[in-house]
Each structure stands twice: as C-alpha cells, then as structure tokens.
Amino acid sequence: CPNVYDNTKIKLQVKFNRKEDKDFFYSTYEHTETEVEKDNKTNVMTCKNIKNKYEVMIEKLKNKKLGVLIVGIGGNNATTMLGGICANSKDISYIDTYDIKKPNYLGSVFLSSNLRIGYNKKNKEHSYCPIYKLVELYNPEHIIFGGWDINNMNLKDCLYRNKVFGVDFIEKIKNDLDYVPLKSVYFKGNFIADNQQLRVNNILVGTNKLEILEKVRNQIKEFKKQNNLNDVIVLWSGNTEKTIPIIEGVNDTFINILGACKNNHVSVSPSIIYALAAILENCPFINSSPQNTLVNAVVELAEYKNVFIVGNDLKTGQTKIKNFLLDFYFGTGLKPKSIVSYNHLGNNDGKNLSSDLQFYSKKISKSNLICDYVKANDNLYVSDDDMNEKNMRSKHKNIKNNDFCKGDSLISTSTDTVEIEKDCAFTDMLEKQKVNSDIVIKYVPYVGDDKKAMDEYISEIFMNGKNTICLYNICQDSLLASPILIDLILLVELSQRVYFKSLKMNDSNEKILCNGNINIDNYVISHDMVSNKYKNFKRMDSILYLSSLFCKSPFNSSVYKTRHSFFSQLESLLNFIRIICDLPTDAHLDLPFMA
Ligand code: NAI
Ligand code: DG6
C-alpha cells in the first residue's frame, strides 16, 4: 500500500531533563520487588525486598523506515486498520449516513489515551499527557504495509466485500489501497474452517512445508529490499486456526520443527510457517488470533534470535469488559460465581468460528482470563473447595478425550468437562470450576460486523446475597479490533528500540540453540545470531509481556506467569513508558497532596 503522506501530528511535546546524544535518550530506574517464601506447614510468608538498578536507553527514530507484513491482509481487521490509517493520514472528511465525520484513532492506547505524568504544584492538579507526546513513537501513517491473503482480491474491493466502512469513506480512500496480496501459505487439514474454501485462490506451492517456509522468507526479504526498510514486523490477522497438538519430537524444538516441515507433518500449521519465516528473517511476529502458533519450537527460535513474539488473540470487546469487571469484583471483595458470555456476529470471522475446531481455539482464549483471578483470590473460595473437589474428581474419571495434546485428532465436543480438561491441568480445572464460566458464539450472517454480545455475571455478596449484572453490547467488531493492531505494532516497534542494563544482569545465561550450523538436508541456518546487545545493554525478553493489555490470552514465558488483572496490565505498560522517559513509576499514592 502506498504510504506517502507526510503527517507530523505525532511528535514529542514534553520536555525532560534527561541525558541524550545523537542516537539515544538515557534514563535510570531502580526496581524493588518483594521475594516471598511460603512455609506450607505454618502458612507463614516471609518477605524480602530485592532492589535492582537499571540503566535504560531508547534509540531515536531518526530516518528509520518500518514495514509491516500482514497475514490475512484482505480480511476485516486488516482492511479496517489500513483504511483507518489511510483516512487519518489524508485527513479526509466523509459522510457517515447523514453526518460529516473526521477520522480518529479512538481505541488506541498509544494514540488516544493519556498517562498521568505528575503533579502540578501551582494548580494543585494531576498532570496528564497523551502517550505519543511523551515518547517517540513510529507514526503509523509512515508504515509501509504489505501482506498475504489466500484470496487474491484487491484490497480496494475487499473494502466493499468486508462491509465495515460506508461507501463515501471507501470511495475517498480506495485508490490508496490498490494492492493485490502476496501468494500465501495454505495447507489442507482443516486449519481454518472448510467454509473458507471458496476464498482459496492465491497460494504458494512447494513439495514440502520447508520449501514453502523458504518461499515466505524470500517474500519477506524482497519486501524489505524493495521498500528499503530497516525493520519489518509480521502480523498474523488471518482466520482463527484450529489448536494444534503439542507433540514431542515435532514442535518442541526448532530443529524438530524443521524436520517436521520437511516431512510435511500434519501438525505444522500455516501460522507456524509465517512465524518461523518471520523470526528467521529477524522480524517480530504478532499473533492476533487465538490459536497456539507460539509452540515451544517457535519460542526457542525467537529467544535464540532475540526477536519479539506477541500473542494471543486481541482483547477487544466482551473479554476486555470481562477483564476490568473481574478487577472490580475481586478488587472490591465480591465473589463471582457464574459468568456466561454469548455473542452472535455475521462477518467472515464469525463464519470461520461456526466450525467446531476453530470455535474451540476461540473458546479457550476467551475462557483463560478467569483462572488467574481465582488463583490470586483463593481465600474467597475456601468454603467451596470441598464441594468442588468431590464434584470434579468424579467428573474427571469420565473424561475420554483428555489426551488430545498428544495426538493429532483433536475433536471438539460439547460437554464442558471435556473441553476444560483439554485446556487446563487438573488443578487449573478445579480452580476454574469455582466460577462457572461458559462461552457461546453463533454465526448470524445478517448482522455482519455488528456483533451483539450478551453477558450475565452472578456474584455472591455480603451474607450470601446474589448480585446479577447483565450486559448487552452492540459493537462494530473490526472497528474495536483495528486500533489494537496499531497499538501492538507501535509497542513492538518501540520495544525494539529500548535497551536495559541491569547491574545484576548475568550474561552467561544466554541460550544456545545448537553448536555451529543447523543443517537439515540442504537447509542451512548459519549460527549468525544477531546479538541484541549494544554497549552491554540488552533488549527485553523475546516474549513481550507488555503486550498483555492487548491480548485476550496473553502469551508468557515459563519464567513469568501472566498477570491477568487489567489494571496491572495497563499500569505495567504505562510504567514502562514512564521508565523510558526517566519519570518515576506511578505508585498511585497522592503523597504530594499531604505535604
Ligand atoms: P477475516 O475472516 O475477515 O480475515 C481473515 C483473513 O485471513 C481472510 O481474508 C482470509 O482469506 C485470510 N487468511 C486465512 N488464512 C490465511 C493464510 N494462511 N494466509 C493468508 N491469509 C489467510 O477475519 P478478521 O475479522 O479480520 O479477524 C482476523 C482474526 O482476528 C481472526 O482470527 C479473529 O478471530 C481475530 N480477532 C478478531 C477480533 C475482532 O474483534 N474482529 C478480535 C480478536 C481477534
Ligand atoms: C466472536 O466472539 C468473534 C471473535 O473473534 C470476537 O469478536 C473477538 O475475539 C473479540 O472478542 P472479545 O471477547 O474481546 O469481544
């Protein structure tokens, strides 16, 4: 897509007293974490405060050129994001039914929300500022976009097919989206629903999956070269795929998955091919869908190459509200007991999800949230424990399908017991049953992108009373999702320019993927790890946990467990911004007012 507009709306407007040179801004940060040890016999927790000092540097953007390759570029979310960015860039006016409208970036944390920077002594008021005025972000309107789709429809026609924007809007931007998607990765094997078959007319061919992987790498190289880009980010915005089985010797290590590609193993999905290709080309990979693309083999490669990976699934509507409602419940000492989430929609995403296997991936993703809250608030459920444990143990015996992860034949079933067992370890399952939770999604073509969502929350209140809250939400699904795609791109780009030096950093911890070169047949990856070290500074971990705010099912490393609290996800992102701007983190204590 041409992206030639010079837009200077996004620029720094806050002055700091921080060090800088021609390439970097510098700041320092002292972090205190409490190390907790619990004695299970006495139930006593011993706490020790651990301090660590960091030096931080952010690389200046200067003339950096960023490209983004979108998988599923003809889809609703992708074309909505591109149309929105284009309209903002051209600053068009358009008629929306009756009124004249201007474009905006509502729904993007980076481009529309404010952060508290401090306290204004004169006015005795808190001071707030849009994030993009505080930290140097890449202007989305300067990104060079390209991408793949299994359907070869030109994007300007996709805008009409997808039915998100009105006709006047489309007419004003469509020529800027004159682009035919690249040939794509498509494998038989129900990765996406059978009902998508009619779209498949634009695919790469090869004798095996390894050959296809190489072709995708070449497409990325070509895009980078043709557009003279410094960096490329690959974003999966394709249909939800089925959840693939985790198989030892196949997708557990990078070397094994290369072998699996070569042998055309049925579990290697298209999204895994894009992820591997991206990382091998040193491009971060974002998974905006729920499926488990980020298998251990992908993670291992990403960590080895120090390339960022982000997933899974966008937290846009129902789950976003669920997230902060759970903050409200648990934060105020209420006890959720039943959460039922229903929605129907009629876009192509809904059509794909009307197939059991793909629905299963989405269901898992939409259900994940509650587990962590329950674990962190175990004290609320003590009296329920006996009952639940008895119930679940007896159900557990009846589970027939609990080994789906080990085989290839994942079959979606309708009983909750089986689905829960498939998703969680037994202990998690117990946790989960403390709160009944169910997810229903129906495909109703007539409603198109205007998703209708209904939620019922029942919580226990004082003296065993009950409090029921029902929500009815009509939303334009793709308009909620697209700004989050922009945020993820901006976050990953920013994170690529941020380096930390910990005084306690231990360099000897670096992973070694293989000794020397990896050589599978004629496929050679040289051991040319691009070090992310710069003047002894290091980038953050490959698994970019700061993206949790934007993901329904935040993917995290085995070292750090995901924190599902919406408040803590938002604050961790904002504190990250504060740290790199040499501002103190916000403790949310209004001590200056007391002085
Ligand atoms: P969509 O169905 O409109 O677009 C997906 C596109 O991907 C289609 O154009 C399809 O042809 C293409 N595609 C499928 N497999 C491909 C492959 N292997 N290579 C290249 N292209 C491929 O779906 P939409 O609404 O854009 O959603 C995209 C994803 O984002 C879905 O997984 C959806 O569940 C997820 N999502 C959507 C949210 C929303 O609010 N709209 C929120 C959270 C996640
Ligand atoms: C129906 O649930 C379709 C899905 O793709 C959702 O629209 C999407 O995942 C958004 O989910 P949520 O729960 O954040 O509204």
Round the average pLDDT of the chain to a whole number and report it: 85
Q: What residues have CB less than 8 Å from 559, skipping those under 6 apart?
A: none
The pLDDT of residue 523 is above 80: no
Among protein residues, the one whose CA lies closest to atom 20 of ligand 1: 149
Q: What is the pLDDT of residue 433?
A: 63
Q: From the CA of 318, how far away is ligand 2's center (Å)? A: 7
| Confidence band, pLDDT 50/70/90 cuts, at residue 387 | low
416: number of Cβ within 10 Å: 15
For residue 53, the model assigns a pLDDT of 92
Cβ count within 10 A of residue 526 = 9
Angle 348-547-317 (CA atoms, 0-180°, nearest 5)? 40
Name all residues whose Cβ lies below 6 A of ligand 2. Answer: 315-320, 343, 345, 349-350, 353, 362, 366, 441, 451, 477, 552
Closest residue CA from atom 23 of ligand 1: 349
Confidence of residue 77 (pLDDT cuts 50, 70, 90): very high
CB of 358 shorter than 6 A to ligand 1: no
Residues 50-72 have a mean pLDDT of: 94
Please state at what angle helix 385-397 crosses helix 426-433, rounded to 10 degrees.
130
Model pLDDT, residue 38 = 86
Q: In this predicted complex, what is the ipTM?
A: 0.99
What are 80-122's pLDDT values in tens digits?
999 999 999 999 999 988 899 999 999 999 999 999 988 888 8
| pTM of the entire predicted model | 0.90
| Average pLDDT value for residue range 591-595 | 61
* Greatest mean pLDDT range, 217-226, 371-380, 577-586: 217-226
d(Cα 593, Cα 595) in Å, to the nearest integer? 6
pLDDT at 6 over 50: no
Comparing 119-128, 162-171, 335-344, which segment has the lowest mean pLDDT? 119-128
The whole-number average pLDDT for the span 13-23 is 81
Whether the pLDDT of residue 408 is over 70: the answer is: no
Structure confidence at residue 12 (pLDDT): 54
Residue 381 has pLDDT above 70, yes or no: yes
Report which of residues 531 and 153 the model is more confident about: 153
Reading the block at residue 321, the tokens are: 């509200």
Rounded to the nearest 10 degrees, the angle between the axes of helix 318-331 and helix 356-376 is 20
Average confidence (pLDDT) over 561-583: 91
Q: How far is the CA of 240 from the centre of ligand 1 (A)?
A: 6
In this prediction, residue 194 carries a pLDDT of 95
**Ligand 1 pocket check for 347: Cβ under 6 Å:** yes
Pocket flag, ligand 1, residue 236 (CB < 6 Å) = no
Beta strands in 176-311 (DSSP E): 231-236, 285-287, 309-310
How far does CA 236 lie from the centroid of its chain? 10
* Minimum-distance ligand 2 atom for the alpha carbon of 315: 14
pLDDT tens track for 240-286:
999 999 999 999 999 999 999 999 999 999 999 999 999 999 999 99
DSSP readout, 365-390? HHHHHHHHHHHHTGGGGGGGHHHHHH
Classify the phi-psi angles of 306: left when phi > 0, otherwise alpha if psi is within -120 to 50, otherwise beta: left
Taking residues 350-356, report their average pLDDT: 96
Contact in structure between 152 and 116 (CB atoms under 8 Å):
no
Confirm if 321 and 557 have CB atoms less than 8 A apart: no
Mean pLDDT across 302-307: 92
375 falls in which pLDDT band (50, 70, 90)?
A: confident
**What is d(CA 437, CA 370) in angstroms, rounded to the nearest whole number?**
8
Does 313 sit in the ligand 1 pocket, CB within 6 Å? yes
> Sorting pLDDT into bands at 50, 70 and 90, what band is 124?
confident
